[in-house]
Structure 1
Amino acid sequence: MIDFWLAAGLLLLVALSFLLIPVLRGRRAQSEEDRTALNVALYQERVAELEGQQEEGVLSAAQMNSGRAEAARELLADTEGADVPRTARLGKSWPLLAAVMVPVLGMAMYLHYGASDKVELSREFAQAPTSLDEISKRLERAVKAQPDSAEGLYFLARAYMAQDRPADAASMFERSVALAGRQPELLGQWAQALYFAGNKQFSPQVQALTSEALLADPKEVTSLGLLGIAAFESERYQQAMDYWNRLLAVLPADDPSRSALEGGIARAADKLGSGAQLAAAPVAPIKAAEKPAVESKLPALLKVRVDLAAALKANVQPGDSVFIFARATSGPPMPLAVKRLTVADLPAEVELADADAMMPQLKLSNFPEVQLVARISRAGQATTGEWIGRSAPLASSTTAMQALTIDSPDH
């Protein structure tokens, strides 16, 4: 910052020179003007003295003319090279007052409207940090200087998570979502921060955030990993394996977290195997009258052909997202199975099955009646959009191809 203030001071001196140099020149002109006035007064006094001597008879007419000419020559010699007298001049106090007020007002306006804090931050970020705590402090100052930066809030939240400060991280993720929109990645990381801030309790808010994230992007890695952890810690080992296998399928082959994920799947399988062995212990045979009345359900598979109404084709763009999902007519509001396409893919035929379930416990086959929905969202958000199409309620065991047309505004 020292070189910045030196440069500012130099510019200030240049600005002051435009005020002070004319003032100094004006004072010099004023002194010249005063000297000229004195010479004129002396000339007039000399001429009056000569005229008095002529009247007394001391000087002749020729001597009078010679003395007057001599006085005139002396006046011209004294005033030669003098500036033209000014007809107006500033008061003496105004230039000095301006010289003082310009730097004071300039400094005050810069401190109020300027960006000295951002200049300092840019210089500080140019140097490599030495610790995680230093990174957090820098990011905190950056967020204070730019509170409307979603990127700054996001990176500060990530730094808080690395420092094991999930409550602070959740607050920053929430602000980032408010600025950047409900992007699946942000929702997943917000849910993760809330999960750890709540002492690893899977709250309704965490459930809602992960469901919304996976609805918009079924491959959102943070939500898949978090749901797997929550399922494992609540001893739902099969569900943990399902989530982690889905996550494993989308991770790059060289991702360093794959080995830890595979270890978690193996531990869940061991736990599940131990439980299966206990369940396989010999029990008394069940009598015919004691057999369950409800047989196990067959996996559901709904086939649907989705198209766009001709009247809407001029109102959409090829890259707009299309979410196709099934939800229970009587049950949780969250989708049971979902597929994502674009407007350019329409018309399209898709299949919704138990394998597409958002959560293992919410499968199509677990609900007797469902409704098919197709939504177009320009922002890529599955929960809100511009246009929608809905089917009539139908049995989840339906096997016939269903036709679904997107034809209505999404209110």
Structure 2
Amino acid sequence: MTEFWLSAGLLLLAALAFLLLPLLRGHRRQQAEQDRTALNVALYEERVAELTAQQAAGVLDLDQLTNGRDEAARELLADTERDDGERQGHLGKVVPLLAALLVPAMALGLYLHFGAADKVELTQEFAKAPQSMEEMTARLERVVQAQPDSAEGLYFLGRAYMAEQRPADAAKAYERAVALAGRQPELLGQWAQALYFAADKQWNAQVQALTDEALKADPREVTSLGLRGIAAFEGERYQEAIDFWSRLLAQLPEGDASRAALQGGIDRAAEKLKASGGKLAVAARLKVRVELAAALKDKVRPDDTVFIFARASDGPPMPLAAKRVTVAQLPIEVELSDADAMMPQMKLSDFAEVQLVARVSRAGQPTRGEWKAQSAPLANGTQATQRLTIDSPDS
């Protein structure tokens, strides 16, 4: 803040210079005008005395004396009016001085009322790395206090509270963020997670409703998938935990540090399922290689969307499992499984026979596009890699 106030002080001095320097110059000019007026009056009096002496000596008669006095008076009046006209272009001393005092005072008052001194200070503070998690949380609290309508600030404050094992505070922050930013799946998932841990890992209707809403809007919402897996594992619903965690695992890139821990959770759930006498359901997996026909390469754009999905041969038309890529990524080989399910209650393994489809959609709509390819019906457990060549108009 020192740099800020120093800069403000320099700007204030510059502003005062514009006000006070003309005042000082005007004062000197006014003094010169007063001296000139006094000189004119003295000259007038001297001229009148000279005319009177000439009349007494018989040089001038009474009419000539009168005419001489009138001429001298007109000259004095003309000089005086000219000086007054010049002075009318100035403000005098009082107004500029008042302006010099009131302008900075008013500016400071308006700045403190409407300005952003606290935000300037926060910006400078965030330029330095925090020394601890507590310091980072304190900064974020000040950000939220300065910008109470910032959903981003509330989101990051919630994350900081979770890192400090303060889930109840995090839940309040996420609730406010949802109220400001809308019911976005990611925010709903974070809110549900905070509520779950704030309730000492007790599942309740609100957590269930929030995760249901998040996964309905985005079946791949990672926080909700992980949370539902945890809740299922704690409730000894091991197959359900495996299903949720497998869907989450499919979204993590290779090399992600979370993959090993997540796979370990899946393995533990599988062991407990077998130990309890349950049978591990084998998830359906299909491998497919998608290519673009040479004749279409000049008719598509690199950023056009390509949807690759499996749908039931005899059942609802909606995709059971899907992936989204672009034309620039073709040719590409992908794997579709229960982890790619669009809805938890409709998985690839729930239908014995499925059909593979690849569709180019410039508008990014999975249900319609410009070009497509589709396979013949096949078993959901087919091991061989299937090949699709996009070459047909999408009717």
Same fold? TM cut 0.5: yes
Cα shift at 1:309? 11
* Residue of structure 1 equivalent to 2:51: 51
Instruction: Find 2:203's aligned residue among 200, 203, 222.
Output: 200
* Residue of structure 2 equivalent to 1:275: 276
* Residue of structure 2 equivalent to 1:324: 308
How many residue pairs are counted as aligned between the two chains? 358
Q: Structure 1 counterpart of 2:100, which letter?
A: A
What's the % identity of the aligned pairs? 47
- 1:76-107 alpha-carbon deviations (Å, 9 max, x no partner): xxxxxxx9x94643243432343244324533
CA distance, structure 2, for counterparts of residue 342 and residue 239 of structure 1: 32
* Residue of structure 2 equivalent to 1:226: 227
Q: Structure 1 counterpart of 2:351, which letter?
A: F
Q: Structure 2 counterpart of 1:17, which letter?
A: A
Unaligned runs of 5+ residues in structure 1 are 60-82, 280-295
Structure-2 change in CA distance of 1:37 and 1:9 (3 Å): same
Are the counterparts in 2 of residues 121 and 142 from structure 1 also a CA contact under 8 Å? yes
- 1:308-345 alpha-carbon deviations (Å, 9 max, x no partner): 897896563x2455332234575696x43223432124
Q: Structure 2 counterpart of 1:397, which letter?
A: A
Structure-2 change in CA distance of 1:331 and 1:153 (3 Å): farther
CA distance, structure 1, for counterparts of residue 293 and residue 180 of structure 2: 34
CA distance, structure 1, for counterparts of residue 294 and residue 219 of structure 2: 27
The question of 1:236 aligning with 2:252 is answered: no
Cα shift at 1:119? 1.0
CA distance, structure 2, for counterparts of residue 200 and residue 300 of structure 1: 31
* Residue of structure 2 equivalent to 1:366: 350
Q: Structure 1 counterpart of 2:203, which letter?
A: K
Q: Structure 2 counterpart of 1:338, which letter?
A: A
Are the counterparts in 1 of residues 290 and 331 from structure 2 also a CA contact under 8 Å? yes
Cα shift at 1:22? 1.4
Q: Structure 2 counterpart of 1:32, which letter?
A: A
TM-score between the two structures when normalised by the length of structure 1: 0.63
Structure-2 change in CA distance of 1:215 and 1:245 (3 Å): closer
* Residue of structure 2 equivalent to 1:25: 25
Cα shift at 1:121? 0.3
The question of 1:397 aligning with 2:379 is answered: yes
CA distance, structure 2, for counterparts of residue 147 and residue 385 of structure 1: 41
Decide which moves more: 190-199 or 265-274: 190-199
CA distance, structure 2, for counterparts of residue 297 and residue 264 of structure 1: 17
Unaligned runs of 5+ residues in structure 2 are 60-82
Q: Structure 2 counterpart of 1:271, which letter?
A: K
* Residue of structure 1 equivalent to 2:175: 171
- 1:179-216 alpha-carbon deviations (Å, 9 max, x no partner): 9x87xx77765664465568434625414534765658
* Residue of structure 2 equivalent to 1:79: none
CA distance, structure 1, for counterparts of residue 124 and residue 342 of structure 2: 47
Decide which moves more: 23-32 or 300-309: 300-309
Cα shift at 1:116? 1.9
Q: Structure 1 counterpart of 2:326, which letter?
A: T
CA distance, structure 1, for counterparts of residue 286 and residue 259 of structure 2: 33
Are the counterparts in 2 of residues 375 and 406 from structure 1 also a CA contact under 8 Å? no
* Residue of structure 1 equivalent to 2:63: none
CA RMSD, aligned part only? 5.2
Are the counterparts in 2 of residues 187 and 210 from structure 1 also a CA contact under 8 Å? no
Cα shift at 1:397? 3.5
Are the counterparts in 2 of residues 192 and 223 from structure 1 also a CA contact under 8 Å? yes
Instruction: Find 1:339's aligned residue among 323, 334, 337.
Output: 323
Structure-2 change in CA distance of 1:376 and 1:99 (3 Å): farther
Are the counterparts in 2 of residues 20 and 95 from structure 1 also a CA contact under 8 Å? yes
